[in-house]
């Protein structure tokens, strides 16, 4: 479809939607004709009326008026009945005979000034719903600039999605639902576009493009993003309490470093300087350790110029922290503690969503495995019934891969021999080969092979002691200089952490950078640049330090049971709306 054709198709679709919008605009005009402001902004400013009550407050007031099943007792509510003024978005509207039910949604509870000094509050976030029961026989004083609800006339101009303000008394319906029966009601913001219907809003692309609709229409979506906030906030708490200093380091840099990935480039005009967006904050944070910030962290937005997938978004958030006088083993203990802490806080702060998240999890955080990469490969060979040479000899021209595939029987078909062989042939060191063997023989089977005692859940696995060649910033192992003091943590088969004792020998670091540069010269795409200033920093002396990185997006995916990274990023990168692909312009047609 050409841009032209797409545009005209969009126009036709919009025209159809426009009819619904037009009907709502007419209501806005009618409200104005009656002297009412459909976009009122004096909700809090008016004198002579009760302060706006949050739904949580209303509910709290009647906390004792419920029966054993949580229904509100009519008599009890009537006895404690309270005059309230509430506001919220109309998410449900039903009129019948001389009455109408209007369900409002609003923020559950906001702390008052006294509570804002209490560091433990607010302990949770949620929106709540509260029902209005409007009756034509009600009467009362009009809201300033509002309308007496005598004949329910104003409800004619109310649509799903509007924001309204109502004043009235609390009551319970026959079915035991706490409600407010208003004597006055007014529209404070008219919505010109309709919300999706109750059959919901499922089209994935539309959901990502119009997240503002998604969040209103799909309740569990909102709870995933509250979970994300709870997770980030718990990570901060954990580190802050241990004396870590949160910092911000540059996202634009002349040098690509700290990880192996393709960067975005940009340009600074005044200095006429080509810059890269950071792929990791690592090298700046370690400079700070040199400078004496012995416990330091950053929740760093990083940018990698690679493809989109359910596990990759070009911008994503990474936690990195560095701790002096610690080793990667200290960090393994801390990682277990951190994950359990975050999970506990998640349960406390998003209690409703948490039950659903937990039900979806196929892993448990009760026990963590720790295994060297070598042991994992040995065990994998053993489990598949393969000889040891299968791990290292796969790249040889005469490798008997067909025989091995036959030997591996049960899992043989799942081992990706073709790519394993291709990968092995690209390796130019034994260390890289060892990593390839791990990647193809062991990693795909982590969730299957390492399970909790009850066998229904997988356990997180720390993979430790990576080969030197695949870890250019990690410290060599004292007992075996071909390996490094490093671990990666896999939860539910997905890598979420990467950590190591840091290389602080400046000459060793310079040599590793040179090896990366040579590799790039040989045509490798994902390498690090030589960072002279970083080497100079190390020459000033960095204390023995352990460093830790964790993908916040992936952590959120794992803890909330989300299948795609786009479900945990509010506004994921998408192809521009209605854009043709690069190869498809009018120029190529006719």
Partner RNA sequence: GGGUCGAUAGCUCAGUCGGUAGAGCUGCGGACUUUUAAUCCGUAGGUCCAGGGUUCGAGCCCCUGUCGACCCA
Binding site for RNA (CB under 7 A): 1, 5-6, 8-9, 12-13, 16-17, 20, 23, 92-99, 101, 131, 133, 135-137, 159-160, 171, 173-177, 179, 194, 196-206, 208, 307, 309-310, 416, 419, 444, 563-564, 566, 574-575, 579-581, 583-584
Number of neighbouring beta carbons within 10 Å of residue 451: 17
- What pairs with residue 105 in β-bridges? 89, 129
- Residue (of 65, 63, 61) closest to 83 by Cα position: 61
Instruction: Output the smallest distance, CB 313 to RNA, in A.
Output: 11
Nearer to RNA, 23 or 273 (CB): 23
Q: How far apart are CA 4 and CA 17, in angstroms?
A: 20
Number of neighbouring beta carbons within 10 Å of residue 360: 11
∠ CA 480-486-546, nearest 5°, is 110
Nearer to RNA, 271 or 418 (CB): 418
∠ CA 555-266-550, nearest 5°, is 15
Nearer to RNA, 522 or 588 (CB): 588
Instruction: Output the smallest distance, CB 220 to RNA, in A.
Output: 15
Nearer to RNA, 161 or 281 (CB): 161
Widest CA span in the chain: 92
Nearer to RNA, 146 or 423 (CB): 423
Nearer to RNA, 21 or 383 (CB): 21
Instruction: Output the smallest distance, CB 62 to RNA, in A.
Output: 15
Contact in structure between 547 and 320 (CB atoms under 8 Å): yes
Instruction: Output the smallest distance, CB 235 to RNA, in A.
Output: 25
Q: Is 61 exposed, middle or buried (0-12, 13-18, 19+ CB in 10 A)?
A: middle
Q: How far apart are CA 189 and CA 181, in angstroms?
A: 21
- What pairs with residue 135 in β-bridges? 99
Helix (H/G/I), strand (E/B), else coil: 537: helix
Q: How far apart are the first and last CA of the chain?
A: 13
Instruction: Output the smallest distance, CB 163 to RNA, in A.
Output: 16
Nearer to RNA, 158 or 300 (CB): 158
Instruction: Output the smallest distance, CB 564 to RNA, in A.
Output: 4
- What pairs with residue 106 in β-bridges? 128
Nearer to RNA, 6 or 251 (CB): 6
Instruction: Output the smallest distance, CB 307 to RNA, in A.
Output: 6
Q: Are β-strands 369-372 and 315-324 bridged in parallel, bridged antiparallel, or unpaired? A: unpaired
Contact in structure between 129 and 172 (CB atoms under 8 Å): no
Nearer to RNA, 117 or 197 (CB): 197
Instruction: Output the smallest distance, CB 26 to RNA, in A.
Output: 9
Q: How far apart are CA 345 and CA 335, in angstroms?
A: 15
Half-sphere exposure of 127 (CA within 13 A, CB side): 21
Instruction: Output the smallest distance, CB 119 to RNA, in A.
Output: 37
Instruction: Output the smallest distance, CB 388 to RNA, in A.
Output: 23
DSSP assignments along 517-561, one per residue: HHHHHTT-SS-PPP-HHHHHHHHT---SEEEEEEEHHHHHHHHHT
Q: Are β-strands 295-303 and 273-277 bridged in parallel, bridged antiparallel, or unpaired? A: unpaired
Nearer to RNA, 9 or 367 (CB): 9
Nearer to RNA, 7 or 453 (CB): 7
Q: How far apart are CA 285 and CA 262, in angstroms?
A: 20
Q: How far apart are CA 458 and CA 221, in angstroms?
A: 26
Instruction: Output the smallest distance, CB 5 to RNA, in A.
Output: 5
Name the E strands within 67-126.
83-96, 99-107
């Amino acid at each position: 479809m050409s841009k032209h054709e797409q545009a005209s198709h969009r126009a036709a679709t919009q025209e159809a939607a426009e009819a619904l919008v037009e009907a709502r605009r007419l209501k806005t005009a009618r409200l104005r004709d009656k002297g009412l402001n459909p976009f009122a902004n004096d909700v809090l400013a008016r004198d002579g009326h009760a302060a706006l009550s949050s739904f949580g407050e209303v509910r709290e007031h009647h906390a004792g008026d419920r029966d054993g099943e949580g229904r509100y007792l009519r008599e009890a509510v009537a006895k404690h009945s309270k005059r309230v003024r509430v506001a919220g978005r109309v998410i449900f509207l039903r009129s019948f005979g001389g009455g109408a039910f209007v369900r409002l949604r609003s923020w559950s509870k906001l702390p008052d000034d006294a509570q804002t000094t209490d560091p433990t509050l607010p302990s949770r976030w949620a929106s709540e719903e509260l029902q209005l029961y409007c009756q034509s026989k009600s009467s009362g004083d009009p809201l300033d600039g509002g309308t007496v609800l005598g004949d329910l006339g104003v409800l004619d101009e109310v649509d799903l999605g509007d924001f309204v303000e109502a004043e009235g008394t609390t009551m319970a319906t026959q079915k035991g639902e706490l409600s407010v029966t208003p004597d006055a009601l007014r529209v404070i913001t008219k919505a010109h576009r309709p919300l999706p219907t109750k059959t919901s809003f499922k089209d994935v692309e539309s959901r990502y493009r119009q997240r503002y609709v998604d969040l209103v229409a799909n309740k569990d979506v909102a709870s995933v993003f509250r979970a994300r906030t709870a997770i980030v906030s718990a990570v901060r708490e954990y580190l802050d309490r241990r004396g870590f200093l949160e910092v911000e380091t540059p996202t634009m840099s002349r040098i690509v470093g700290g990880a192996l990935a393709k960067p975005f480039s940009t340009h600074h005009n005044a200095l006429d300087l080509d810059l890269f967006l950071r792929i990791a904050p690592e090298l700046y944070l370690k400079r700070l350790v040199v400078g004496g910030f012995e416990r330091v962290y950053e929740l760093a937005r990083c940018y990698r110029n690679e493809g989109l997938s359910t596990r990759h978004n070009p911008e994503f958030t990474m936690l990195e922290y560095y701790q002096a006088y610690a080793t990667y083993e200290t960090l393994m203990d801390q990682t277990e503690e951190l994950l359990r802490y975050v999970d506990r806080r998640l349960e406390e702060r998003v209690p409703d969503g948490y039950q659903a998240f937990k039900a979806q999890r196929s892993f448990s955080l009760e026990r963590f495995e720790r295994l060297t990469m070598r042991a994992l490969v040995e065990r994998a060979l053993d489990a598949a019934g393969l000889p040891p040479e299968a791990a290292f000899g796969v790249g040889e021209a005469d490798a008997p891969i067909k025989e091995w595939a036959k030997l591996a029987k049960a899992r043989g078909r799942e081992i990706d021999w073709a790519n394993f062989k291709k990968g092995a042939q690209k390796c130019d060191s034994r260390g890289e080969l060892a990593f390839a063997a791990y990647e193809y023989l062991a990693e795909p089977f982590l969730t299957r092979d390492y399970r909790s005692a009850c066998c229904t859940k997988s356990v997180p696995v720390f993979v430790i002691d990576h080969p030197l060649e695949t870890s250019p910033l990690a410290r060599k192992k004292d007992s075996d200089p071909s390996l490094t003091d490093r671990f990666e943590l896999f939860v539910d088969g997905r890598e979420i952490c990467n950590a190591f004792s840091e290389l602080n020998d400046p000459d060793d670091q310079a040599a590793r950078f040179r090896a990366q540069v040579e590799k790039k010269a040989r045509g490798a795409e994902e390498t690090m640049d030589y960072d002279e200033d970083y080497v100079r920093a190390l020459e000033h002396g960095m204390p023995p330090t352990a460093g830790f990185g964790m993908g916040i997006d992936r952590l959120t995916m794992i803890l909330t049971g989300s299948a795609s990274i786009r479900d945990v990023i509010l506004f994921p990168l998408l192809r521009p709306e209605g854009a043709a692909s690069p190869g498809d312009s009018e120029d190529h047609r006719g």
